Amino acid sequence: MARRQTVSKTAPGEKIAENIIDIDVTTEMEGSFLEYAYSVIYSRALPDARDGLKPVQRRILYMMADMGLRPDRGHVKSARVVGEVMGKLHPHGDSAIYDAMVRMAQDWALRLPLIDGHGNFGSLDDGPAAARYTEARLAAPALTLTDHLDEDVVDFVPNYDNQLMQPEVLPAAFPNLLVNGTTGIAVGMATNMAPHNLGEVIAATQHLIANPEATLDELMRFIPGPDLPSGGRIVGLDGIRDAYASGRGSFKTRAKVEVEQLNARRTGLVITELPYMVGPEKVIEKIKDAVTSKKLQGISDVVDLTDRSHGLRLVIELKNGFNPNAVLAQLYRYTPMEDSFGINNVTLVDGQPRTLGLVELLQVYVAHRLGVVRRRTAFRLRKKQDRLHLVEGLLIAIVDIDEVIQIIRSSDETAQARERLMAIYDLTEIQANHILELRLRQLTKYSRIELEKEKDELELAIKELQAILDSEQRLRSLVSDELGEVAAKYATPRRTVLLESEAASPLKGVAAAPAVTGKGAKAALPLEIADDPCWVILTSSGQLARTSNQEPLTEAGQRVRHDVFRSVVKTTARGEIGAVTSSGRMVRVQVLDMPALPPTSGLPNMAGGVPVKDFMTLAKGEKLIGLVPLNEIIALGTRNGIVKRVNPEYPLNRDDWEAITLKPKDEVVGLGVAQQDTDELVFITEQAQLLRFSASLVRPQGRTAGGVAGIKLGADDHVLFFGVVAQNDPAAVVVTVSTGSETLPGTPGGSVKVTEFAEYPVKGRATGGVRAHRFLKGEDALVVAWAGHGPAKAAAANGVARALPTEHGRRDGSGIPLTSQVDQVGPSNTPVEPGEDPAAG
């Protein structure tokens, strides 16, 4: 390729006049940099303290208002707004304008959004769609910022090419800078201001208007701290006070977290609010990184369930055995769930950057708003006075309208008619011109009565407006009232909770935690739950839970729902127990998987438990009979009268196994711990036969054995109850409840009998036993039976407590629990000493 030659247009030998100026590079760099820095500070990065807006934000709102994009009208393409702003007012890139516009529409960035966006305006983790896809219009609060611009309330300045005018500042009917905050980076300085609650800010502004000498302490009674759009919690208020006093300070924000029982075996930390400008994906990413690097322990999974209907919901599933408060302390330390916000109140005041405290910020705004309202009042006064001047001229002319018309008709030109009207009726030039411009058909409208009425109204309005201008107090009162109207219309409740101290607030349902000193400090809590002694309880209504200690389970106060215990096993928080079902199957159960009841003295509230069906899988028709320890010999009794003592030799690599081999149509009806040969085994049948015999008569067997004969049953008779009673227990009782086969459910009938267990003789194994309940007329079977450590307690199937006779002996159906009401009987909880198993059946 040939090289292009540059041809000089200068003739050979011609001299070129040179003008070289020597300048100092240092001086030139300083001057140029100062001009650039001033341009960035004044025209781009820092907000004005009066309306709280940067130039690009102000131009967007002004142009949208000029385009008529009000809340009661349809949305328009964002690209159209960006184009109008860029072409007329803001000669910069369209991306900068669109980014500013998007931020004003994001409700997680601004406490009171100023633009109503339609479409994908992004999220905390993702950017918005392009301007050609989204649509926008002004939000209702933005109208209060731009109202009355046509009433000479602010100065207008030329745009970049001197062809259009734009407002130097917006009227701003509320302190937007404090309400929505701002952020910006200039040259050599930056600003970062937190959002606040509109109602609180306006209340403080009204107080300052009424009391110009108000102190910071007085204003902080109205504005205790920032109110972030995302809610959350602010921990420690000292930094906030420093920021309000000097304009600089910092505070910590934390996520709002609650502990929830996700299912019967899993506990989780549920996050519903995050620190300001922190998105859930960022939190999830940091959690995964910390778990991978083994900085975080005790977390099994993180699930983001956030949706539009329910808002933010981030579920952190915990491994069994880990303290939720301790895991939360780790999360605060290693993830953005705790973040720091630095306040730097740098704003423009009279074109100069200044760092202002809360009092100064409100003072600048109040002065601006007083000036806006004063100029608006003066403008309206001039308009009223001008109209009154015209009305007075019409009143003069209408007295002799025929002569006025004759004067106009007889004049050669407009100037002559004007001069003659001014001379004859003593009118001003403005009044004479207004009369001349009237059309003939308009003269019928101007009756004297109507004009005089309008004159009176104008004079009254002028008097009111003049009174506002003449009285500083009335002017301040008007500004305060208008602020109150804005607050009544747009104020919302506070979202952010303010916490005075650094102590971590305890989670709901979890014991209070020691103080956590934040990032960089070790948590003072044990990460894993200690293997403390506890009770595992199964109620007659099928509620399952564990206590948080092993205090005696003494009855306290009035009986409550679920307080009849079917099984109570002494164990530890990290231990294992067995659950025996009606099919003879034993299931290994981890105690940590059970919900822990809050510490209490006396009887625990079992309403905090979970149903058995939510805790373990049972086959159709299979029922949970009771709970047993895995390290002691237990006894099982079946419906067909088989008894078995089971050696605690269970497989270590299985979660469930057979504890007894059952014959067809047989099932387990009861169980109990029979570690000692001196314990006594008890059968009670549907035909009211009771058999008690020594446990030494039943040799312990392996888990696959089928047991031996326990009680000899009569024709069509079956075992109703089987249990274990300690030898020579003086408090042991027998409870039997009878009914008749022809008795309708829910109708009176049947009887209840409570008898001392010692009254029944000991018999041999495989015998028929003795009669335990003599049936009355209409009775032919037992429906409920129980024997064990008394006094006994009764309950309906839904867990509602029922009373039993306090004296031993038979009672008829009147005034006592009836057959249809007593479905379960269990042991009393008074007294129970540590180490004693009260669940003898």
Cα distance between residue 199 and residue 191, in whole Å:
24
Cα distance between residue 774 and residue 783, in whole Å:
14
Cα distance between residue 171 and residue 370, in whole Å:
10
Beta strand spans in 98-195 (E): 115-118, 135-138, 156-158, 165-167, 182-185, 190-193
Domain boundary among 169, 199, 214: 169
Beta strand spans in 159-266 (E): 165-167, 182-185, 190-193, 233-235, 248-254, 256-261
Cα distance between residue 599 and residue 107, in whole Å:
42
Cα distance between residue 426 and residue 436, in whole Å:
15
pLDDT at position 512: 40
Q: How many domains does the chain have?
A: 3
Q: Where are the alpha helices (DSSP H) in 399-447?
A: 401-410, 414-425, 429-437
Residue 739: CATH number of its domain:
2.120.10.90
Across residues 800-815, what is the average pLDDT? 57
Q: Is residue 63 part of a domain?
A: yes
Domain boundary among 456, 490, 524: 490
Q: Is residue 680 part of a domain?
A: yes
Domain boundary among 111, 136, 169: 169
Pair 592, 709 in one domain? yes
pLDDT at position 5: 47
Question: Of 437, 439, 446, 438, whose CA–CA distance to 395 is shortest?
Answer: 446
- Give the pLDDT confidence of 557-616 residue by residue, as tens digits: 455 666 678 888 888 888 889 999 999 999 988 887 777 777 665 566 666 677 887 777
Token pair for residue 652?
């270590």
483 with 207: CB under 8 angstroms?
no
Pair 406, 554 in one domain? no
**pLDDT greater than 50 at residue 815:** no
pLDDT at position 568: 87
Q: Is residue 231 part of a domain?
A: no
260 with 272: CB under 8 angstroms?
no
- Residue 506 pLDDT level (bands cut at 50, 70, 90): very low
Pair 548, 671 in one domain? yes
Pair 584, 699 in one domain? yes
Q: Residue 783 — left, alpha, or beta (φ > 0 → left; ψ -120 to 50 → alpha)?
A: alpha
- Residue 334 pLDDT level (bands cut at 50, 70, 90): very high
Catalytic residue among 133, 160, 332, 446: 133
Sign of the dihedral through C-alpha 722, 727, 732, 734: positive
Cα distance between residue 799 and residue 612, in whole Å:
14
Q: Is residue 502 part of a domain?
A: no
Q: Is residue 312 part of a domain?
A: no
Residue 439: CATH number of its domain:
1.10.268.10
- Give the pLDDT confidence of 382-406 residue by residue, as tens digits: 999 999 999 999 888 888 888 888 8
As a whole number, the mean pLDDT across the chain is: 84
pLDDT at position 531: 77
What is the phi/psi pair of residue 646, to 5°?
-110, 125
Pair 411, 553 in one domain? no
- Give the pLDDT confidence of 441-500 residue by residue, as tens digits: 766 666 788 889 999 999 999 999 999 999 999 999 999 999 999 999 999 999 999 988
- Give the pLDDT confidence of 222-250 residue by residue, as tens digits: 999 999 999 999 998 889 999 999 999 99
Across residues 272-295, what is the average pLDDT? 92
Across residues 121-140, what is the average pLDDT? 94
Pair 163, 53 in one domain? yes
- Give the pLDDT confidence of 97-118 residue by residue, as tens digits: 999 999 999 999 999 999 999 9
**Per the omega criterion (within 30 degrees of 0), is the bond before 171 cis?**
no
Question: Of 120, 138, 117, 139, whose CA–CA distance to 130 is shortest?
Answer: 120
Q: Is residue 259 part of a domain?
A: no
Pair 617, 680 in one domain? yes
pLDDT at position 742: 67
419, 422, 428, 431 alpha-carbon torsion, rounded to 10°: -90
Sign of the dihedral through C-alpha 647, 648, 649, 653: positive
Q: Is 36 annotated in the active site?
A: no
**Per the omega criterion (within 30 degrees of 0), is the bond before 791 cis?**
yes
Pair 550, 456 in one domain? no
Residue 57: CATH number of its domain:
3.90.199.10
Cα angle: 422, vertex 424, 430; to 5 degrees: 20
Global pTM value: 0.71
Pair 123, 66 in one domain? yes
Pair 547, 463 in one domain? no
- Give the pLDDT confidence of 255-282 residue by residue, as tens digits: 999 988 887 677 899 999 999 999 999 9
Cα distance between residue 16 and residue 10, in whole Å:
9
Q: Is residue 398 part of a domain?
A: yes
Pair 485, 541 in one domain? no
One-letter amino acid identity for 86?
M
Q: Is residue 309 part of a domain?
A: no
- Give the pLDDT confidence of 661-719 residue by residue, as tens digits: 999 999 999 999 998 899 999 999 999 999 999 999 999 999 889 999 999 998 889 99
Pair 429, 574 in one domain? no
Cα distance between residue 230 and residue 781, in whole Å:
65
Cα angle: 750, vertex 789, 585; to 5 degrees: 85
**Domain, as residue range, for 565:** 533-826
Question: Of 519, 505, 493, 491, whose CA–CA distance to 233 is shortest?
Answer: 505
